A and B are shown apart, each in its own frame.
Chain A
Amino acid sequence: MIERIKVGMASCGIAAGADEVKDFLDQKLKDREDIEILEVGCIGHCYAEPLVEVETESGSVFFENVEPTEEYLDKILEIDKESTMSFRDERTGREHLKVTKLAGRIDPVSLQEYIENGGYESLKKVAKMSPDKIVEEVKTSGLRGRGGGGFPTGLKWSFLASKEADKKILICNADEGDPGAFMDRSMMESVPHQVIEGMLIAALATGSNELFIYARAEYPLAVKNMNIAIEQVYDSDINVFDGETIDVTVKEGAGAFVCGEETAMIHSLEGNRGNPRYRPPYPTDEGYKGHPTLINNVETFANVPIIFEEGGEKYAELGTENSKGTKLFALAGDLKYAGLVEVPMGLTIGEVVYDMGGAERGEVKAVQIGGPSGGCIPAKHFDVPIDYDSLESLGAIMGSGGLIVIGSGRCMVETARYFLEFTTKESCGKCTFCRIGTKRMLETLERITSGEGTLEDIDFLEDLGPKVIDASLCGLGQTAPNPVLSTLRYFKDEYLAHVEDKHCPALQCNDLVDIYLDQEICIECGQCIKNCPVDAISDDFVVDNETCTRCNTCIEVCPVDAISRVKRGDTNE
């Protein structure tokens, strides 16, 4: 007996076509008053979107990659066991759903559902505690900032709590900007009330009376859900304590990556250009409009209700010595099961990449952890546990949780170039080393990937990179060279191949690659000729590499794999 049908409608679902599935189900089942169709957030299995959960009295079943067709509708209505999604033990056996336990399970914008599932219970508990006690509890939990820096959350709260001020500000940093990272988006889209609850607890602990959520404008659904949840909070007086209302407002950023840096974010909130400033003074001393200000990341706040649900000590049982609890990772790149995973601290990178993500052993070169600010970790170090200190010792950072798997077909120099291009563009342009230094490094990488690099260019990167780190004001510049320096550390042979042999071992850098059509294999079907956008293939099936743009179309359309990328000049074999 079907009770409810839940369609995953977070951005990942919508991108995969979930809204069409939802419309289709609405249309087809409009007469079935017994079945409720519900929009929910993301359960983290993004690879399976559009994902439909069917709740029956005997429990839930899931259908993956659902299409808006009668065939799928029949399967869903019949609860066709053959067609339901099976969750792999490799993942379910390792993940530890605490922060995301409600994500994708409840209607994100239903206060009632959140409350029915234990929501705002922690806030109720906390409202009876003294601020000191609340801070103490967070300290006990060992929670560290999930935005990347890893600063102990309780300690940060205590700084603000100890301030005497009429007005104290709390900001939730939801300016998630790393390429490939979507933890904060997913949380805001799926469990907005959990984030607000965490913020209200922090407000009570620190005496803050004005709360902001600084979110990317590029996250319309997250902004929408947060705003609806805030309205519900106001309507139900959840944010009123002893007759005093704590204001919560969503502010949309204009899309600058650097505004994830706290001082830049404060400038942006104030209506100024989002440029960072030197610290000290730290925001807890002098923040938004001069008021003492505390900034925590979305995931950090989302952890807070969990701490008070089970108690700080219990919370601290999970994880490693200096890294407690769980961490969300957005898995992307060359792996089978992209999505959001919540893993206990201390799991190894290999377990996340191979087991949970389904990447093939032997087909992975490295992971990029921490986005453009982080570093790459080569496969040989995948036995390292995920915690703040271990990752740092490898030249990477925990970062906010972007984890990009780099397959063996990718060029590490190009990977470094890609990330550096991002930070170079996103520099606020204020500091000399960040503005010009990253640009000069990027130009050097461009020379190398185009086959014009020299050994001096490699020396230049190794010399300037650490200087940019040393002589930049904020985290953006201080970490921008990391992808370059970590690839130089672990994959120098690839740099040398580009420079000395003018060869891209991964055959990715277009300027160092020719396209070769093997006439022994070719069946002369003519698909390549027909599809080539620049007419680079002759009637007798020879590729003119002068004209060819290396777009790969011919390789993709060839039915017999007769065409391949080869080292530049190696077209005669």
Chain B
Amino acid sequence: MSKVNIKIDGKEIEAKEGQTILEVAEENGIEIPTLCYHEQLSQTTSCYLCMVKDKKSGNYIPSCSSDIADGMDIEATSDDIFEMRKTTLDLLLSEHSGDCEAPCTLACPAGIQIEEYLRAARKGDFLETLKIIKEKLPLPMSIGRICPRFCEEDCRRNVIDEEAVNINDVKRYAADLHYEDYLEELPELTDEKVAIVGAGPAGYTAAYYLRLKGIRSDLYDKMPEPGGMLRYGIPEYRLPKDILDTELAHFDKMGGIEVNCNQELGKDIELEQLKKDYDSVLLAIGSWSSRSMHTEGEELAVGGIDYLEDLALNGWSGKDPGKTIIIGGGNTAMDCARSAVRLTDDSVNVFYRRTELQMPADDIEFEEAKEEEVNFKFLTQPVELREENGKNILTCIKMELGEKDASGRRKPIPIDGSEFEVEADTVIAAIGQNTEAPEGVPTNRWDDIEVNEENYHVQDNIFSAGDCVTGPATVVEAIGAGRQTAESIAAYLEGKEYERDYIINVSRGHWQSLTEDELVLINEPVERERAHLEYISDDKRINTFAETNKTLTEQEVIEEAERCIECSCSYKEDCQLKDYSEEYKAHPEAMVGEKVLFDYDMRHPEIIRDPGKCVRCEACIKVCKEIVNEYLLEFKDRGYYTNVGTEFGKPLPTDCTECGECIDICPVGALDWKSTKR
């Protein structure tokens, strides 16, 4: 065969006549993406992802089908080519139906592979469950108790019976069962060392993931014991401290993580010194200073977080607060109120300036507070606090809701002349906390530490994460940030710029917009009500700080995990459309238009056909026809509604199980084994 000389990306190449541009490029290490080309099949030329430019004519040509010719000058890598390929992928994504990732995982601030750990739990493999969780979250015993469950808000199970899978209680069970006996594989320690100021959730999480990369860290904390808000902000009845102790002890077992308590930044340790002594410094100091009510006499009130801290330092005991008024509607207000309930027989009252609907506290906290007989008064704002005869007199004003403010909530407006007075022994102001950033560290307009949002970098070798960056938020969010920061610091130590992975997600939509018919269910959903935790007796709940509820049983956990309907794509690990889209920065919403709701075909016992995912590359049709010598698949309809169907719409024959060529060749999982979800 005669030789042909061509140029690809300026590289002179001698190739064999009759080869395609794509083949020659591949042989010479020039990568060209394609979805429809397969060596063993006849040319299809449909996806147009493999486009290159013929520099002589200026035309874009599909490299998979174009034979080389002597003197050809091909551009396979350039901004123009990148843009064309991105457009190809934008187009394909705009018609693609499916769920790259399960909605629960997407909702989780830590990014835990929830569907996967539920599947392991369903099989009774709780060690595997824990392993999957700890890939993203090192404090599962705590989070298994206190997580606000963003995942469950987005859980598609809601479409079936309006009750999300009880995800977090599965986590709690697996963590309680195996946390102490699971030790992850640990690489040898390197010489690099990071100082972490603040031994709370963000700090511990960063230390954990740095350790998994072999990087040592020293944690410094101003409090006498580590744990941060987990210890001093979250009451014992929600998170028993012996559980926290067990959890934190694991970090000591790992080696390479040192915890130094009673070390306050600016007093006992100095930032400048840490910067010099360590390769990097992470500020994870939290948001600990109670926010002002801007009310006359506010010094007579105790700050919410200060109240909890005092109780914590006293081993969750304290004096009877008497009649108590808590100002605020967040989780700290609930924690204060419910703690006060446990210490007094007098009334405990929460005053909030907006309505119940707008209250930021988690629903479960609000519900449990009401069960524990906390009283709520809405649309009530304090205007003055004074002391008379050893009693606090709180003057309040009634509010009404006006127009929406910047937060999107309707703004409360005082009603003239509606002032009234109430008497209280204790007034707790739980209206939020501020960050006290160390001197010299840049802050934003909320006084939180200013970081580069991409990589959590502050300046020099300083990074920061957690509440001190976001303002008071949830523990699970601090954990998510802690892990990302560990990645960023590790990259920094290697001298690299940390770039977050560009990850795309195609979604069928939020459960509230979906009907059961629109779900793709490989397994028939089990009919079962959601499992609920058993509470301790009411008497114990109101009078002691004992944990309010008990972990589910093994049987309950397995049955609960079976309620998961497994939303994510069966092919997500291997999907070429996803991989290329991420490589070429394509986006599912770059072009928006009609998505066809094709019926998925579950009739074969082992194979699922989901035409909504199909990219019409024809590979399945051709492999069946040209290699297997069967004619079981074919194109149907025309234009935008073209889809791959079966011969006369019949189910695929059962003996397709022995072949599976079409499944192997499908780039996107439009044909897949059902067993991936079993």
Contacts and interface: CB of A to CB of B under 8 A. Distances in A.
B87 interface: yes
Most chain A CB neighbours (cut-off 10 Å) among B46, B92, B642: B46
Nearest to B66: A278
Interface in B639-653: 639-642
Interface in A449-470: 460, 464, 467, 470
Contact of A429 (B60, B84, B639): B639
B91 interface: yes
Contacts of B640: 424, 427, 429, 435-436, 438-439
Contacts of A433: 48, 87-88, 91
Contact of A436 (B43, B66, B92): B92
B637 A429 contact: yes
Given A278-B65, A436-B94, A437-B91, A429 B593 contact: no
B62 interface: yes
A433 B65 CA distance: 17
A432 B88 contact: yes
Contacts of B392: none
A430 B51 contact: no
B67 interface: yes
A439 B593 contact: yes
Contact of B638 (A426, A436, A443): A426
Contact of A277 (B45, B47, B51, B94): B45
A275 B88 CA distance: 20
Given A432-B92, A436-B91, A470-B59, A425 B639 contact: yes
A83 to B, nearest CB: 49
A292 B368 CA distance: 82
A431 B36 CA distance: 10
B618 interface: yes
A443 B47 contact: no
A271 B18 CA distance: 29
A473 interface: yes
B635 interface: yes
A439 B594 CA distance: 9
Contacts of B45: 277-278, 431, 473
A551 interface: no
A550 interface: no
A404 interface: no
Given A429-B641, A432-B48, A440-B94, A464 B635 contact: no
Contacts of A473: 45-46, 62
A424 B59 CA distance: 23
Nearest to A467: B87
A502 to B, nearest CB: 21
Nearest to B638: A429
A280 interface: yes
Interface in A255-275: 256, 273, 275
A69 B15 CA distance: 78
A430 B634 CA distance: 12
Given A280-B67, A425-B638, A430-B616, A436 B95 contact: yes
Contact of B639 (A278, A280, A427): A427
B621 to A, nearest CB: 10
A199 interface: no
Nearest to B51: A471
A275 B42 CA distance: 14
A52 interface: no
A18 to B, nearest CB: 34
Contacts of B634: 273
Given A432-B88, A464-B87, A427 B46 contact: no
B300 interface: no
Given A435-B616, A443-B594, A471-B51, A429 B642 contact: yes
Interface string A287-328: 000000000000000000000000000000000000000000
A424 B639 contact: yes
A290 to B, nearest CB: 12
Nearest to B43: A278
Given A429-B638, A431-B45, A440 B84 contact: no
Contacts of A437: 91
A480 to B, nearest CB: 11
Interface in B84-114: 84, 87-88, 91-92, 94-95
A464 B84 CA distance: 10
Contacts of A467: 84, 87
Interface in B27-55: 43-49, 51
A428 interface: yes
B183 interface: no
Contacts of A440: 91, 94, 591, 593
A470 B48 CA distance: 10
Given A273-B635, A432-B92, A470 B84 contact: yes
Contact of A430 (B87, B88, B92, B642): B642
A156 B635 CA distance: 33
Nearest to A280: B67
Nearest to B45: A278
A375 B94 CA distance: 28
Contacts of A425: 638-639
Contacts of B594: 439, 443
Nearest to B64: A278
B48 A471 contact: yes
Contacts of B639: 424-429, 435, 439
A426 to B, nearest CB: 7
A435 B642 contact: yes
A473 B67 CA distance: 15
A428 B51 CA distance: 20
A275 to B, nearest CB: 7
A428 B88 contact: no
A431 B43 contact: no
Contacts of A460: 591
A424 to B, nearest CB: 6
Contacts of B84: 467, 470-471
Interface in A41-73: none
Most chain A CB neighbours (cut-off 10 Å) among B47, B59, B62, B639: B639
Given A256-B638, A273-B634, A273-B635, A430 B95 contact: no
Nearest to A472: B48
Contacts of B618: 430
Interface string B597-634: 00000000000000000011010000000000000001
B638 A471 contact: no
Nearest to B83: A467
Contacts of B43: 277-278
Nearest to B641: A429
Contacts of A471: 48, 51, 60, 84, 88
Most chain A CB neighbours (cut-off 10 Å) among B87, B615, B635, B637: B87
Interface in A237-261: 256
A251 to B, nearest CB: 20
Interface string A63-101: 000000000000000000000000000000000000000
Would you list the 9 A-B pairs with minimal beta carbon distance, nearest first?
Answer: A429-B642, A278-B65, A436-B91, A439-B640, A278-B45, A470-B60, A430-B46, A443-B593, A471-B48
Interface of B: 43-49, 51, 59-60, 62, 65-67, 84, 87-88, 91-92, 94-95, 591, 593-594, 615-616, 618, 634-635, 637-642
25 contacts: A277-B43, A278-B62, A280-B67, A426-B638, A427-B640, A429-B616, A429-B637, A429-B639, A429-B641, A430-B618, A432-B91, A432-B615, A432-B616, A435-B616, A435-B639, A435-B642, A436-B92, A436-B95, A439-B95, A439-B594, A440-B91, A470-B59, A471-B60, A473-B45, A473-B62
Given A430-B616, A431-B47, A443-B594, 18 more contacts: A273-B634, A278-B45, A424-B640, A426-B639, A427-B638, A427-B639, A427-B640, A428-B638, A429-B637, A429-B642, A432-B48, A433-B91, A436-B92, A436-B95, A439-B594, A467-B87, A470-B60, A470-B84
Interface of A: 256, 273, 275, 277-278, 280, 424-433, 435-440, 443, 460, 464, 467, 470-473
